[in-house]
Structure 1
C-alpha cells in the first residue's frame, strides 16, 4: 500500500545527546517528544511502488555508517541529534514515515555539525551550527519485502552557522528501506524528479546501510 500526503512541515528543535562512532551502541529509541507527527490517506500502490524488489537490499552491516557529531561547548551551539532506535517489527504507514523523518533529521543535522564546526580560537570567531531545520514537503510510503517499508521524503532545509552565516538546501529526495534489523538510505537532488513513476532514489541500486540491529523483537538492541 502506498500513502501520500503533501505539505507535511516539521519544525525542528534540539536534543542533547552526543554519540560515539566506535563499536556498538546500546540504543533504546528516540524520545517520544522528538517523533514527528504525520497523518496520511491510503491510496492504491502505483508507479514506483510496483518496482520494489521482492528481497531486502543486499548490504553489509560492516559498512553501516552515519554522521555522529560531538558536543560543542559554546553558547547557542546545537547539540548532536539522536538517531531513532530499532524500527517497529513491521514498519508501515505513519509509523514508517515518522521513523524515516526522524532518521533523516538526525543524519543531516549531525552531518552539518561535522562539516561546520571549527573551534579554533586564536583571534578568529569560532564556527559552529546554531540553527538547523528541514521542511518535509511531500512523502510516499509503500510496503517492502519481508515486513519492511519503503519511505521517500521530499524536503528543503536551512541552517545558521555562528557567527551568522545562513545556508539553504535545494529540494532533496531521500528513500529509506526500513526493516526490523536494517535501515538503508539513498539520496538524490535531481531537480526534474516527479516522485511518481520510478523507484528513485533506489535503496537497492545505490543505497547505503545506515543502521543495523542485532536480533529480532522489541527487546533492547545494539545499533551497529
Structure 2
C-alpha cells in the first residue's frame, strides 16, 4: 500500500500558513531521462513540503527547498531510477509569537518509477561515494504512489 504526506489545507484564518503542494503527474513515457528527472524533483519538492505541512500544520509559515543535484541511474527498461540531493529550511510560528527557523542536513531521496508504482527511499548526511545509489529505493524504499 502506498503512503505519502497528504495534509489538509490550512484553516482560512491562518493567513501566513504554507499551503500543501499537489504531486505532479507521472510522465506518459519514462524513456526521456530529463523529463523523468524533472518529475522526480517536483515529486520530492511536493513530498518534503507536504511532510512539513503535515507535521507543523498552520504554524508552518515558510518553507524552501534547495536542490543541489538530480541524477538518473541504471534502471530496467520501462522504469527509471533517480536520486535527488537537497537541503530545506522551515519557519514555524511558536505559541508565544516568535518564529523558529530550521535548516536540514543534506537529504538524499532516491526513487524507482515504473508504470505501476513510485517507490521512495530517504537518508541524510554525507556519503563516502557520491556516485553510488544511496539510498537504494529497493533496499529501504517504500511505495508512495500506485497506478492502476
TM-score, with length taken from structure 2: 0.88
Superposition deviation, residue 146 in structure 1:
3.0
How far apart, CA to CA, are the structure 1 residues paired with 2:80 and 2:74? Answer: 5
How far apart, CA to CA, are the structure 1 residues paired with 2:78 and 2:137? Answer: 16
Contact persistence 2:41–2:70 (CA under 8 A): no
| Partner of residue 92, structure 1 | 32
- Counterpart selection for 1:187 from 104, 122, 145: 122
Does 2:105 correspond to 1:152? no
Contact persistence 1:157–1:168 (CA under 8 A): yes
Moved >4 Å (runs of 4+): none
| Partner of residue 35, structure 1 | none
Contact persistence 1:183–1:211 (CA under 8 A): yes
Does 2:136 correspond to 1:202? yes
Q: How does 1:1-224 map to 2 (within 5 A)?
A: 63-73=1-11, 74-117=14-57, 128-162=59-93, 163=97, 164-196=99-131, 198-214=132-148
Quickly say closer, same or farther: Cα 1:193–1:157, change in 2 above 3 A. farther
Unpaired runs of at least 5, structure 2: none
Pick the structure with more strand per residue. 2
Contact persistence 1:91–1:178 (CA under 8 A): no
Unpaired runs of at least 5, structure 1: 1-62, 118-126, 215-224
How far apart, CA to CA, are the structure 2 residues paired with 1:115 and 1:109? Answer: 10
TM-score, with length taken from structure 1: 0.59
Alignment RMSD, CA only? Answer: 1.6
Contact persistence 1:92–1:148 (CA under 8 A): no
Contact persistence 1:92–1:142 (CA under 8 A): no
Superposition deviation, residue 180 in structure 1:
2.2
Deviations 1:68-104 (A, max 9, x none): 1111121111111101123333243211111111111
